[in-house]
Amino acid sequence: MSAPTFTFTAFKQYEPNEPAAIVFIVVFVLLLFAHVWQSVRAKVWYMWPLILATAIEVVGYVLREVAAVPNTFTIVFIIIAPACLAANLYMLVGRAILFVGPGYAIMRPAWITPVFVGFDVLAIATQGIGSAIIFGVDNDIDKMKTGRTVLILGLFIQLVAFFAFLLLAMYFDRKTTVALRQRVAFLRPLMNAFYITGALILLRSIYRAVEFITVDFYKRPINSYLYNTEWPYYVLDALPIALSIFAFNIVFPANHLPKTKDETLTKEDHVPMESRSGSNDV
């Protein structure tokens, strides 16, 4: 006996809230332009993953606003965008470790970006494939369950990799604070922004994992609260990601990191170098 098939509209028991979508379109557009302006002004290019993540959020919410019901591309864009944001965090902390010195980190700085960004790419690909299977035109229930498994695996990869990186960053932060004290005080705002953003990304990833774990595709209508209710979509996904991006508008990394990877902390350094002497914050 073949598996039952339903139309996509059977699975979301609400129509997207247009005003909410428009609000977040405006928010993400403003954040996007602010980061592009700050990066161009500071002449730094290592913020491109965050800029890409913000642009993907804009596209996702534009599609959500114009579509009568959520579609494949809408959900894929919004689900994978935070992984690009996480990739930028790996790069920023990696640059901080390179500047202060590799002896203060558990892992060699040269390995940090490729290893964790590699896991991030794997997470993005897995989440994208899982989302495409679930919300694709073929609504076979068995295939949707397979897609959910793939999507949750991608979220799990992202969660584990990011949590491991959070521990690595905390070790680096603690060791440099104890050993170098005021000589690394210029990194404190950046590390605080990293912790805030990290907590928000973890919250969002946990929400998404629970949302899809609790879905029963065989019931019609689906009785999963998180899946059938829109407010968690904005409060536990859109808002945390917007705040994460905004944190790095306020604490713009170019004010706390050197422009190039060749610069290192010397015994005479108490503050960041020339690249951090100007004010590029919003």
Two tokens, residue 209:
């994992």
Query: How remote is the C-alpha of 39 from its chain's centroid?
Result: 19
What is the amino acid identity at position 163?
Answer: F
Coil, strand or helix at 258 = coil
7: left (phi over 0), alpha (psi -120 to 50) or beta: beta
Domain boundaries, the chain: 8-260
What per-residue confidence (pLDDT) applies to 174?
92
What per-residue confidence (pLDDT) applies to 14?
66
| C-beta of residue 69 within 8 angstroms of C-beta of residue 61 | no
What's the CA gap between 24 and 57, in Å, rounded?
9
Assign domain 8-260 to its CATH architecture: Up-down Bundle (1.20)
What per-residue confidence (pLDDT) applies to 69?
55
Q: List, run by run, the mean pLDDT of 10-residue segments along the chain (282 residues).
A: 44 72 95 97 93 95 74 76 90 89 82 86 86 68 83 88 92 90 90 94 90 75 75 94 97 88 61 42 44
What per-residue confidence (pLDDT) applies to 57?
95
What is the amino acid identity at position 120?
Answer: D
Round to the nearest angstrom and report the end-to-end CA distance of the chain: 61
Q: Hey, which residues does 140 pair with through a beta bridge?
A: 5
Place of tokens 């953003």: 197
What per-residue confidence (pLDDT) applies to 68?
54
